[in-house]
C-alpha cells in the first residue's frame, strides 16, 4: 500500500452503522470532552436522522439512548478531562474516570450492534465492531488532527484471534475502576465474546490474522513475538507525535535492534513555523543513526484545506509500518502507543492497538519523504500535552431515583476536607473521606448537586493542592432526571406515544422543540413549522387516547418481554417529556382548563395501564414498589378531575361513574368462536 488511505472518522462509523442498530457501546480515551462527545461523536453511532440544532439533537439522542437494549459507557483518564465549548454531559451515558500510575491511554470504540432486518429465522444477528485508534474523544481528535483508526468486525459465534486478549483487556478495565461501579456495557461485550471461539492460528494461508495489543507486555516484545521472523531486514516507517525528553530515542533503538531494518523513516513533528517538537539532542542522535531519516508527510495530507496558504494540521496518529518489497508484504501496528518509553515498556501507560497485515496488490513504499530542512528551534512536548495540569482522585455520583449523592476518594490515603463549586458558586463541603470507599453525602449537599446538574455536570474541587480541578459527576437513575424538554402538552405526549418509528419520533421532537433551538448551535438551520391539527371531535379524541395508551402499553410489554426493564421504567416512572409521570404533571397543571371528560378518561387509561402491567409482570412491579406507590399517590392527588365531573352533572352521576370505573379497569377478554 503506497497511497495513504484517509477518511473522516465520523463518516466511517456512520457507514459501518448503516442498516444496523446499536445495543451497547464501550469507549476508551485519554483526553475527554464530554460535551463534544455527546454532540458530535455519539450521533455517528445511530443510524437515524438528527437535527443540526444542538439542543434539538440532544433531545433526539436522549430518546434514542433510552431505547437501547444495553448501555453506553466511556472510560477516561481522570487527568484527561477537557472543559470545552460544547458544555458538559447531559445524556444517559455512564462516564467512568480511571486513575493510573502513568497514563490511561487506550483509544478504543467497541460497538455491539444488531441488524435492523431480521434473518430468515426471525433473528437479528449481532456483530461486535472493535476499533483501535489514536484519536481522543475531543474536538481536535475527531475534527482537526490527522489520526489513524482500524475497525475489525466479529460476527456472532465467529472464530476470532481477538477473543482472549480483548476479554482480558476489558476485565482489567473493570478492575481499575472505582468499587461498586456498574459495567453493564462491558458485560454485554464480554457475554458476546464468550459465545465466540478463540482461533489458535496466528495466520491463515501465510497471512497474519489481526492481533489485539492490550499492554500486558512491552510493545517491542509483542511485535517481536508475532512478526520478527517475517520482518527481519524489512523497511520500517514510524509516525508518532511525541518523543521522550531524553538524549536518545530508546524505543526506536530497540526496534532497530529487533528487526535490523534496511531503512527507517521517522516522522518529525513540527509546528507551522517549522519548530521541531523533539529535544535537540534526541533529534541529533536519531539523525546520526545509519539508514535512519527524519521525514515528513505529503503537503496535501498536512494542509487544513485545499488552498496553498491553508495552515497545517497536527499529526496525532501513531503508526508503525513494517514492509518488504520482495516479496510484497506489509504489516502495520496502529493505535495509542507513541514512540516513548512509557508507551513501549511494561508497567508504563495502559495502551492498546491492532497488529494487522495489509493487502499489497502493488509493491509497498514509504509514505514519508526525508526531511532535509534542519530545524532551527526545538520544543519538547509531552504525551499529556493539552490535558489539565491538575486532576483530582474524587469521584462524585448522584442518583436521580433515590435523590442521594455519594463520593469516592480514589487514593490510598484519606482525603483532606474538600469544597465543590459550580462556576465559583459553592455547592458544599465534603470529607475528609476514607480511601477507596463510597461515602453518602449529606442531604443538603445532595440537593445542591441536583440543582447544579440541571445546568452542568462539571464541578470544581478545591482543597486538594494549590489549584482546583474539574470533576465530572456520574449520574445514575437517569429515567428520573427532568427531561431536557418539558414543554409538551397533554395532547403532544399522547400524540408522541402513537408514533411508531424512530424516524417519526425524531421528526416530531424537532418540530416541537424548535422553540429551544435558539439556545444552541445550528439553530439557524431549523425550520419553524406548524403541525396541522386533527379534527377535534369527541370520537377523534377518545380514539386518539386509546390508541396512544395502546401503543405505550405494547412498548412497555415489549421491553419487559425482551428483558429490558430500563426502557419500561423510563416510560412508566421516569421524568422525561413522554413519561407517564410527566403526562400526570400536565393534567395537574391543566386541571382547571382541561375538559373534564377528557381528563377523566386519560386518568382511567393511566390506571388501567398500571393495573394490567402490575398483574402480568408482578416481579417487575414489586421491584418498582416505591415508584409504583408514588404513581398511585399521583392518582389520588388528581381525584379533583373526577370531582369536577360530579359537580357538573349532579350527585346521581356518581353512581354511574362508580359503575364505569369498575368496568373500565376490568379489561374484556376476547370470546373464542365456537365450532358449531
* Mean pLDDT across 253-275: 95
The percent of residues above 70 in pLDDT, for the chain, comes to 88
Binning pLDDT at 50, 70 and 90, where does residue 121 land?
A: confident
Whichever domain contains 154, its CATH number is 3.30.870.10
Q: Are residues 361 and 426 in the same domain?
A: no
Specify the higher pLDDT residue, 646 or 371. 371
Whichever domain contains 222, its CATH number is 3.30.870
Looking at residue 102, its pLDDT comes to: 79
Q: Are residues 581 and 508 in the same domain?
A: yes
DSSP per-residue string spanning 158-171? -EETTHHHHHHHHH
Q: Is residue 548 within a helix (H) or strand (E), and if so which, with residue range?
A: helix 538-561
Alpha carbon separation from 214 to 28, 147, 154, 354, 479 (Å, rounded): 12, 20, 18, 9, 35
Residue 426 lies in a domain: yes
SS3 for 334? Answer: strand
Which domain-ending residue is among 424, 448, 480? Answer: 480
Given a contact cutoff of 8 angstroms between Cβ atoms, the answer to whether 341 and 348 are in contact is: yes
Q: Are residues 234 and 114 in the same domain?
A: no
User: CA 189, CA 111: separation in Å to the nearest integer?
Assistant: 8
Q: Are residues 229 and 108 in the same domain?
A: no
Per residue in 623-638, pLDDT (tens digit) is 999 888 888 888 776 6
Looking at residue 533, its pLDDT comes to: 39
User: CA 620, CA 612: separation in Å to the nearest integer?
Assistant: 12
Residue 387 lies in a domain: no
Given a contact cutoff of 8 angstroms between Cβ atoms, the answer to whether 404 and 110 are in contact is: no
DSSP per-residue string spanning 503-531? HHHHHHHHHHTGGGGGGSTTGGG----PP
Residue 674 lies in a domain: no
Q: What is the pTM of this model?
A: 0.86
Residue 3 lies in a domain: no
Specify the higher pLDDT residue, 425 or 109. 109
Lowest-confidence range among 416-425, 459-468, 525-534? 525-534
Is the per-residue pLDDT at 441 higher than 60? Answer: yes
Whether the bond into 230 is cis, omega within 30 of 0: no
Cβ contacts of 525-529, under 8 Å, gap ≥ 24: 525/52, 525/53, 526/51, 526/52, 526/53, 526/56
Specify the higher pLDDT residue, 24 or 541. 24
Residue 505 lies in a domain: yes
Which domain-ending residue is among 430, 457, 480? Answer: 480
Residue 157 lies in a domain: yes
Alpha carbon separation from 152 to 16, 38, 210, 655 (Å, rounded): 11, 24, 8, 68
Whether the bond into 161 is cis, omega within 30 of 0: no
User: CA 596, CA 593: separation in Å to the nearest integer?
Assistant: 8
The domain total for the chain is 4
Per residue in 508-520, pLDDT (tens digit) is 776 665 554 445 5
Residue 75 lies in a domain: yes
Looking at residue 118, its pLDDT comes to: 87
Lowest-confidence range among 319-323, 372-376, 482-486, 639-643? 482-486
User: CA 612, CA 556: separation in Å to the nearest integer?
Assistant: 11
The percent of residues above 90 in pLDDT, for the chain, comes to 53
Looking at residue 379, its pLDDT comes to: 93
User: CA 150, CA 355: separation in Å to the nearest integer?
Assistant: 10
Per residue in 75-98, pLDDT (tens digit) is 999 989 988 887 889 999 999 999
User: CA 61, CA 576: separation in Å to the nearest integer?
Assistant: 13
Looking at residue 660, its pLDDT comes to: 72
* Mean pLDDT across 429-446: 93
Domain span at residue 588 reads: 490-665
Residue 614 lies in a domain: yes
Looking at residue 525, its pLDDT comes to: 45
Looking at residue 58, its pLDDT comes to: 83
Q: Are residues 207 and 337 in the same domain?
A: yes
Is the per-residue pLDDT at 74 higher than 60? Answer: yes
SS3 for 598? Answer: helix
- At 328, list the grid cell: 510484497
Binning pLDDT at 50, 70 and 90, where does residue 311 land?
A: confident
Which domain-ending residue is among 370, 403, 426? Answer: 370
User: CA 581, CA 573: separation in Å to the nearest integer?
Assistant: 6
Specify the higher pLDDT residue, 673 or 144. 144
Is the per-residue pLDDT at 384 higher than 80? Answer: no
Per residue in 523-539, pLDDT (tens digit) is 544 444 443 434 455 55
Q: Are residues 91 and 53 in the same domain?
A: yes
Is the per-residue pLDDT at 674 higher than 70? Answer: no
Q: Are residues 257 and 404 in the same domain?
A: no
Is the per-residue pLDDT at 437 higher than 60? Answer: yes
Q: Please provide the size of the chain in residues.
A: 676
Beta strands in 240-345 (DSSP E): 263-267, 292-296, 319-325, 328-335
* Mean pLDDT across 446-460: 91
User: CA 90, CA 43: separation in Å to the nearest integer?
Assistant: 14
Q: Are residues 223 and 183 in the same domain?
A: no
User: CA 78, CA 70: separation in Å to the nearest integer?
Assistant: 25
Q: Are residues 108 and 72 in the same domain?
A: yes
Alpha carbon separation from 403 to 450, 451, 573 (Å, rounded): 8, 11, 14
Q: Are residues 604 and 631 in the same domain?
A: yes
User: CA 175, CA 267: separation in Å to the nearest integer?
Assistant: 36
Q: What is the dihedral of CA 603, 604, 606, 612, to 10 degrees?
A: 170
Q: Are residues 275 and 239 in the same domain?
A: yes
Q: Where are the alpha helices (DSSP H) in 228-364?
A: 250-259, 280-287, 299-302, 341-344
Is the per-residue pLDDT at 619 higher than 80? Answer: yes
Q: Are residues 180 and 295 in the same domain?
A: no
Beta bridge partners of 276: 270, 378
Amino acid at each position: 500500500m503506497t497511497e495513504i488511505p484517509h477518511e473522516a472518522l465520523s463518516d466511517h462509523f456512520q457507514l459501518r452503522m448503516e442498516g444496523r442498530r446499536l445495543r451497547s457501546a464501550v469507549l476508551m480515551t485519554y483526553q475527554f470532552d464530554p460535551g463534544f462527545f455527546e454532540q458530535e461523536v455519539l450521533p455517528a453511532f445511530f443510524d437515524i436522522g438528527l437535527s443540526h440544532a444542538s439542543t434539538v439533537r440532544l433531545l433526539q439522542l436522549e430518546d434514542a439512548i433510552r431505547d437501547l437494549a444495553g448501555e453506553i459507557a466511556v472510560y477516561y483518564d481522570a487527568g484527561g478531562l477537557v472543559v470545552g465549548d460544547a458544555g458538559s454531559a447531559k445524556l444517559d451515558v455512564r462516564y467512568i474516570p480511571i486513575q493510573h500510575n502513568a497514563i490511561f491511554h487506550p483509544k478504543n470504540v467497541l460497538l455491539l450492534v444488531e441488524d435492523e432486518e431480521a434473518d430468515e429465522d426471525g433473528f437479528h444477528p449481532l456483530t461486535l465492531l472493535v476499533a483501535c485508534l489514536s484519536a481522543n474523544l475531543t474536538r481536535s481528535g475527531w475534527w482537526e488532527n490527522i489520526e489513524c483508526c482500524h475497525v475489525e468486525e466479529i460476527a456472532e459465534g465467529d472464530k476470532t484471534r481477538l477473543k482472549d486478549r480483548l476479554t482480558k483487556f476489558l476485565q482489567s478495565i473493570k478492575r481499575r475502576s472505582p468499587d461498586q461501579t456498574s459495567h453493564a456495557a462491558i458485560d454485554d461485550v464480554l457475554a458476546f465474546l464468550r459465545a465466540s471461539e478463540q482461533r489458535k492460528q496466528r495466520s491463515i494461508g501465510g497471512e497474519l490474522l489481526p492481533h489485539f495489543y492490550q499492554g500486558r507486555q512491552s510493545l517491542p516484545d509483542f511485535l517481536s513475538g508475532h512478526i520478527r521472523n517475517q520482518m527481519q531486514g524489512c523497511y520500517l516507517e514510524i509516525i508518532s507525535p511525541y518523543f521522550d525528553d531524553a538524549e536518545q530515542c530508546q524505543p526506536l533503538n530497540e526496534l532497530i535492534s529487533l528487526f535490523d531494518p534496511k531503512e527507517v523513516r521517522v516522522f518529525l513533528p513540527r509546528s507551522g513555523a517549522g519548530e521541531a517538537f523533539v529535544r535537540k539532542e534526541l533529534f541529533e542522535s536519531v539523525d546520526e543513526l545509519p539508514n535512519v531519516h527524519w521525514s515528513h508527510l505529503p503537503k496535501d495530507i498536512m494542509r487544513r484545506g485545499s488552498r496553498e496558504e491553508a495552515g497545517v494540521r497536527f499529526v496525532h496518529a501513531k503508526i508503525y509500518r513494517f514492509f518488504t518489497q520482495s516479496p510484497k508484504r506489509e504489516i502495520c501496528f496502529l493505535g495509542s502507543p507513541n514512540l516513548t518509553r512509557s508507551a513501549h515498556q511494561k508497567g508504563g501507560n495502559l495502551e492498546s492497538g491492532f497488529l494487522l497485515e495489509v493487502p499489497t496488490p502493488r509493491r509497498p513504499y514509504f509514505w514519508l519523504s526525508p526531511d532535509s530542512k534542519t530545524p532551527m528551534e526545538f520544543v519538547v512536548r509531552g504525551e499529556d500535552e493539552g490535558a489539565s495540569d491538575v486532576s483530582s482522585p474524587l469521584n462524585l455520583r448522584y442518583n436521580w431515583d433515590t435523590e442521594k449523592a455519594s463520593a469516592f476518594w480514589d487514593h490510598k490515603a484519606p482525603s483532606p476536607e474538600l469544597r465543590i463549586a459550580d462556576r465559583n458558586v459553592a455547592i458544599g463541603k465534603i470529607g475528609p473521606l476514607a480511601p477507596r470507599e463510597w461515602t453518602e453525602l449529606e442531604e443538603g449537599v445532595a440537593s445542591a448537586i441536583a440543582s447544579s446538574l440541571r445546568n452542568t455536570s462539571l464541578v470544581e474541587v478545591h482543597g486538594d493542592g494549590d489549584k482546583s480541578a474539574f470533576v465530572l459527576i456520574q449520574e445514575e437513575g437517569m429515567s428520573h432526571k427532568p427531561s431536557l424538554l418539558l414543554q409538551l402538552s397533554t395532547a403532544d405526549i399522547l400524540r408522541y406515544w402513537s408514533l411508531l418509528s424512530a424516524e417519526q419520533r425524531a421528526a416530531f421532537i424537532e418540530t416541537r422543540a424548535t422553540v429551544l433551538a435558539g439556545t444552541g448551535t445550528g439553530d439557524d438551520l431549523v425550520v419553524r413549522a406548524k403541525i396541522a391539527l386533527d379534527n377535534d371531535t369527541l370520537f377523534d379524541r377518545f380514539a386518539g387516547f386509546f390508541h396512544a395508551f395502546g401503543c405505550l402499553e405494547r412498548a412497555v410489554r415489549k421491553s419487559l418481554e425482551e428483558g429490558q426493564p430500563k426502557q419500561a421504567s423510563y416510560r412508566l416512572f421516569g421524568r422525561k417529556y413522554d413519561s407517564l409521570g410527566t403526562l400526570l404533571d400536565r393534567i395537574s397543571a391543566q386541571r382547571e382548563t382541561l375538559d373534564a371528560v377528557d381528563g377523566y378518561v386519560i386518568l382511567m387509561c393511566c390506571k388501567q395501564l398500571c393495573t394490567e402491567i402490575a398483574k402480568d409482570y408482578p416481579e417487575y412491579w414489586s421491584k418498582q414498589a416505591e415508584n409504583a406507590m408514588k404513581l398511585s399517590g399521583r392518582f389520588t392527588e388528581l381525584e379533583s378531575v373526577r370531582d369536577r365531573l360530579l359537580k357538573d352533572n349532579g350527585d346521581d352521576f356518581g353512581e354511574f361513574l362508580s359503575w364505569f370505573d369498575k368496568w373500565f379497569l376490568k379489561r374484556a377478554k376476547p370470546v373464542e368462536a365456537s365450532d358449531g
